[in-house]
Amino acid sequence: MTHGTHFVVMGVSGTGKSTVAEPLARRLGLAFAEADDFHPDSNVAKMSAGTALTDEDRQPWLESLAAWITEHDRRGTSTVMACSALKRSYRDILRSAAPDVRFLHLDTTTDVIAARLRERTDHFMPETLLRSQKSTLEPLADDEPGATLDIAPPAEEVIERAARIVSAATGSEPASRD
Ligand SMILES: Nc1ncnc2c1ncn2[C@@H]1O[C@H](COP(=O)(O)OP(=O)(O)OP(=O)(O)O)[C@@H](O)[C@H]1O
Ligand SMILES: O=C(O)[C@H](O)[C@@H](O)[C@H](O)[C@H](O)CO
């Protein structure tokens, strides 16, 4: 059976997961999932009201994301997903989906992220949850396949660096510029 290679673009709210992951997938011709679209309405309502999700809230959501990866892996399709994947235990669920699941952790200073969240107006996630997201975050450990990217530079530069990493792993060539 031919397997795919699966990259999860992770990080706290406002680090640019959606900004980076979607063009990255498009550029390399890979299947894409936005994990926010998999949240049940109850989770979105909770976050919109400024309450952080619990492990119990996140469990079925993570299982549905893992199922999406498995479905593509069975077809031998490589994928890119934008997903917070804040804790190692959450990443373990995603890693259990297929033999080759890797993570790209988008990170920078809290000040930069907070400033970007303040400017973002078209999203349910309030800036007030950044503190909880940061305290929940467990960065990638040495034994977790993947890389950490500084997202202080312009988005295009971050996408380029991510594309080089993903392209080397999946063998997918950039199709065209966005
Ligand atoms: N490298 C960058 N430089 C400048 N602005 C950026 C960069 N990356 C993202 N942004 C902006 O920061 C904001 C947050 O980005 P985005 O919505 O992609 O983050 P996210 O991690 O998907 O957030 P969430 O988890 O809350 O959905 C957006 O307004 C986006 O345009
Ligand atoms: O695990 C979580 O708390 C959620 O995934 C959040 O991170 C939000 O979904 C996301 O940040 C908003 O897009």
Kindly report the CATH number assigned to the domain that includes residue 128.
Answer: 3.40.50.300
Q: Is residue 177 part of a domain?
A: no
Q: pLDDT-based confidence at 173, cuts 50/70/90?
A: confident
- 13: Cβ below 6 Å to ligand 2? yes
Nearest-CA residue for ligand 1 atom 18 is 16
Residues 145-170 have a mean pLDDT of 97
Q: Is the pLDDT of residue 178 over 60?
A: no
Nearest-CA residue for ligand 1 atom 9 is 16
Cite the beta strand spans of the chain per DSSP E.
Answer: 6-10, 31-34, 79-82, 101-107, 146-150
Q: pLDDT-based confidence at 85, cuts 50/70/90?
A: very high
Q: Say which amino acid occupies 44.
A: V
Nearest-angstrom CA–CA distance, 144 and 64: 21
Cα separations (Å) of 57 from 42, 127, 139, 140, 159? 9, 20, 21, 22, 30
How many CB atoms within 10 Å of residue 174?
15
Please give the pLDDT value at position 53. 96
Ligand nearest to the CA of 40: 2
- pLDDT tens-digit map of 29-53: 999 999 999 999 999 999 999 999 9
For residue 30, the enclosing domain spans: 6-170
Q: Is the pLDDT of residue 177 over 70?
A: no
- As a whole-number percent, the residues of the chain with pLDDT over 90 amount to 90
Q: Is residue 130 part of a domain?
A: yes
- Choose the residue to mutate in 8, 9, 18, 19 for probing ligand 1, maximizing ligand atoms within 8 Å of C-beta: 19
What is the DSSP code (8-state) at residue 122? S
Nearest-angstrom CA–CA distance, 175 and 4: 18
- Looking at the structure of the chain, the number of domains it has is 1
Q: pLDDT-based confidence at 123, cuts 50/70/90?
A: confident
Q: Is residue 96 part of a domain?
A: yes
Q: Say which amino acid occupies 99.
A: P
Q: Which stretch of DSSP H or E encloses residue 65? A: helix 55-74
Among residues 67, 63, 61, 65, the alpha carbon closest in space to that of 44 is found at: 61
Cα separations (Å) of 129 from 100, 147, 149? 31, 25, 22
Question: How close is the Cα of 166 to the center of ligand 1, in Å?
Answer: 20
Direct distance between the N- and C-terminal alpha carbons of the chain, in angstroms, rounded to an integer: 33
Instruction: State which ligand 1 atom lies nearest to the alpha carbon of 125.
Output: 26
Ligand nearest to the CA of 120: 1
Q: Is residue 1 part of a domain?
A: no
- 13: Cβ below 6 Å to ligand 1? yes
